[in-house]
Amino acid sequence: MSRIGKKPIAIPSGVTLTLDGQTVSVKGPKGQLSWTVIDDVVISHENGELTLAPRDDSPRARSMWGLSRTLLANMVQGVTEGFEQTLELVGVGYRAALKGNALSLQLGFSHDVDVAPPEGVTFAVPKQTEIKISGIDKQAVGEIAAKIRRIRPPEPYKGKGVRYAGEKVRRKEGKKK
CATH of the domain at 39: 3.90.930.12
- Judge whether 140 lies within some domain: yes
- Judge whether 160 lies within some domain: yes
Residue that is last in its domain, among 45, 80, 115: 80
Query: Is 88 in the same domain as 160?
Result: yes
Query: Is 128 in the same domain as 62?
Result: no
Measured from the Cβ of residue 38, the count of other Cβ atoms closer than 10 Å reads 13
Structural domain containing residue 99: 83-164
Question: 72-121: per-residue pLDDT in tens?
Answer: 999 999 999 999 999 999 999 999 999 999 999 999 999 999 999 999 99
Query: Do the Cβ atoms of 45 and 72 come closer than 8 Å?
Result: no
What is residue 158's three-state secondary structure? coil
- Judge whether 88 lies within some domain: yes
Q: What is the pTM of this model?
A: 0.88
Measured from the Cβ of residue 170, the count of other Cβ atoms closer than 10 Å reads 7
Query: Is 92 in the same domain as 115?
Result: yes
- Judge whether 173 lies within some domain: no
Query: Do the Cβ atoms of 54 and 5 come closer than 8 Å?
Result: yes
Query: Is 26 in the same domain as 61?
Result: yes
- Tell me which DSSP letter residue 8 carries: P
**How confident is the model at residue 1, as a pLDDT?**
60
What is residue 113's three-state secondary structure? strand
For 113, residues 6+ apart whose C-beta sits below 8 A from its C-beta are 104, 105, 106, 107, 151
Query: Do the Cβ atoms of 115 and 105 come closer than 8 Å?
Result: yes
Query: Is 76 in the same domain as 38?
Result: yes
Count of domains forming the chain: 2
Question: 4-51: per-residue pLDDT in tens?
Answer: 888 999 999 999 999 998 899 999 999 999 999 999 999 999 888 999
